[in-house]
Amino acid sequence: MTALATPSALASRPARSPHLLRWLIRLHRPALLSWIAFVLVVGGLLLWVGGPLTDASAEAWKQYRACGADGCAYDAGAIGRYKDWYNYTTITVVAAPFLVAAWSGAALVSRELESGTAQLAWTQAVSPARWLAAKLAVPAVLIAVGSGLLAGLHHWAWSTGQGRIDTVKGWHDLGTYAANGTATAAMALAGLAGGVLWGLHKRNSLGALVGSLASTGFLWSVVAIATPHLWPTVTTVSSLKHSVPAGSGIIVDQGLVTSTGRHLSGHLCGSDTNEQCRIRYEKLDAVGYYNDYHPQSHYWPLQLTATAIILAVTAALTVAAFRLLKRHTGSAPARKAAAV
């Protein structure tokens, strides 16, 4: 029986990067092929949604708008197919970071620590830090390219329906907003880093899987809640003769404006042409509506700010993973990692 050397015992050996890269690709080939297939299939569906399905739905809406009082025939099925497949692909793109987190937590690190594969790699002229760097860098490139491509295709598929399909989702729709921008690709990288950190912490596949999914969901939720507050809002004031305040987009706050200029959040009733609403407004000394919101021109400032925050969190998770690995492996001479 020959004891496997530990990381500290091999720190002076030169690392062979091409060998490490080949080993990583061979070890995670099923995941690599699955990710490529996922990107190709979802990308193809998005091309279908933004092309033939959008054209068919737009034509059906054109027929519908041409209908007179007596009615006419139009392709309702085309409208429904576009709506359904747009929703399916949107959910899939938004779910990509969770798929990455699940794989990263369950297989990328924790499984190798459980089986001893990681310790074996550390005996092959690869230090723990270099091993972890490769485990993060190689998937990060593929994940960034794949998720970025899907977000770009989704944005294109959504934009082709603008002005042509009456029921096309608004830019501020929660799913559309998330799937259309760079924050989704950044979240996928955060899922990768979070999964690795949980894998190093739990060192068992199930625990790391649950932890990585939970942390990704938590981060996504925090970003969604914080997004409306990441950029200064636009405020519009409008007449009480309208049923709702003017201005559409991501609404942060809206309510009533008093004669002194004070803003009363909420208290919306409807147009003051309604007697009950008029009496209510008079009691509150309301003279108009106000609406604090983000118009469509704020889309990219919000997206890029959220992306920067997510990438900062990803960097922090990565640093934490390296520190945790160092704490686990240490620099002392070593103990037996395995035997063959």
pLDDT in the model for residue 20? 66
Q: Are 252 and 228 in contact (CB under 8 A)?
A: yes
Which tokens in the block code for residue 103? 């794989």
Closest CA to 194 of 320, 16, 323, 5: 320
User: Residue 141 CB: number of other CB atoms within 10 A?
Assistant: 10
**pLDDT grade, residue 19 (50/70/90)?**
low
pLDDT in the model for residue 9? 40
Q: What percent of the chain has pLDDT over 70?
A: 89
Q: Are 7 and 122 in contact (CB under 8 A)?
A: yes
Closest CA to 100 of 134, 136, 133, 129: 136
pLDDT in the model for residue 5? 41
**pLDDT grade, residue 2 (50/70/90)?**
very low
How far is it, in rounded angstroms, from Cα 120 to Cα 339?
10
**pLDDT grade, residue 3 (50/70/90)?**
very low
What residue type is assigned to position 36 of the chain?
A: I
Q: Which letter, b or e, does each residue of 20-54 get, where b requires 16 or more Cβ atoms within 10 Å of its Cβ?
A: beebbeebbeebbeebeeebeebbebbeebbeebb
DSSP bridge partners of 175: none
182-236 per-position pLDDT tens digit: 999 999 999 999 999 998 888 788 888 999 999 999 999 999 999 999 999 999 9
245-268 per-position pLDDT tens digit: 999 999 999 999 999 999 999 989
Q: Are 285 and 258 in contact (CB under 8 A)?
A: yes
**pLDDT grade, residue 69 (50/70/90)?**
low
How far is it, in rounded angstroms, from Cα 200 to Cα 104?
11
Work out the burial of residue 238: count CB atoms within 10 Å of its CB; fewer than 13 is exposed, 13-18 middle, 19 or more buried: middle
Q: Are 15 and 126 in contact (CB under 8 A)?
A: yes
pLDDT in the model for residue 316? 97
Looking at per-residue pLDDT, the higher value among 4 and 110 belongs to 110
Which range scores top for mean pLDDT: 8-17, 99-108, 125-134, 306-315?
Answer: 306-315
Q: Are 294 and 252 in contact (CB under 8 A)?
A: yes
Alpha carbon 324 to its chain's center: 26
78-109 per-position pLDDT tens digit: 999 999 999 999 999 999 999 999 998 888 88
175-188 per-position pLDDT tens digit: 999 999 999 999 99
Which tokens in the block code for residue 294? 């983000």
Task: Tell me the pLDDT of the chain averaged across its residues.
Answer: 87
